[in-house]
Structure 1
Amino acid sequence: MQLSTEFWVQILAYACSFAAVYGRLMVRIQYLEQKMDKHNNLVERVYQLEASEKNAHHRIDELREEMLR
């Protein structure tokens, strides 16, 4: 079975197209991973902030009780 030059050119074109699409897809996935990391970091920081806020409110309430005595 003899494969023509046109066949190999077409296979090469398909391979280049596939590589280009794959490359763009990988770049997009990396971009989304970076956004997810930023979001997760923000969620962790907000959680810590809420814990700190709760502690501060508790201390304020204690001071208010001491002042009322």
Structure 2
Amino acid sequence: MDTIISACISAGVTLFICIINNRGQQEKTRALMEYKLDELTKRVDKHNNTVERTFHLEEQMGIQEEKMKVANHRIEDLEKKVES
């Protein structure tokens, strides 16, 4: 009977230690996941900012190309007037 009681006590203490260890590991894992999620969020924000800037630059480039076309047409019209 003493063997069974000591085995049960041993099992209980082992189970208690495992539960404490598991809780500590869960907290570390959660902290690591939160850190990785924050870093990923920063990268996504940086990427989105780059996409927005690229879109803005492409828009400005389109406007500049249109201005160049208008300027070229004006130059052509002036050259035609000079030749006439």
User: TM-score with structure 1 length normalisation?
Assistant: 0.91
Residues 11-31 of structure 1 show CA distances to partners (whole Å, capped at 9, x for unaligned) of: 110000111111111100100
> Aligned pair count?
68
Please name the residue that 1:42 is paired with: 50
Higher helix share: 2
**Greater CA radius of gyration, 1 or 2?**
2
- After superposing on structure 2, the runs of 4+ consecutive aligned residues of structure 1 that deviate more than 4 Å are none
- Corresponding position: 1:56 with 2:32: no
What is the CA-CA distance between 1:53 and the residue it aligns to?
0.2
Residue 64 of structure 1 aligns to a residue in which SS? helix
User: TM-score with structure 2 length normalisation?
Assistant: 0.75
Distance 1:8 1:26 in 2: 27
- Stretches of structure 1 that go unaligned for 5 or more consecutive residues are none
Name the % identity. 18
- Stretches of structure 2 that go unaligned for 5 or more consecutive residues are 1-8, 78-84
- The one of 15, 19, 22 aligned to 1:14: 22
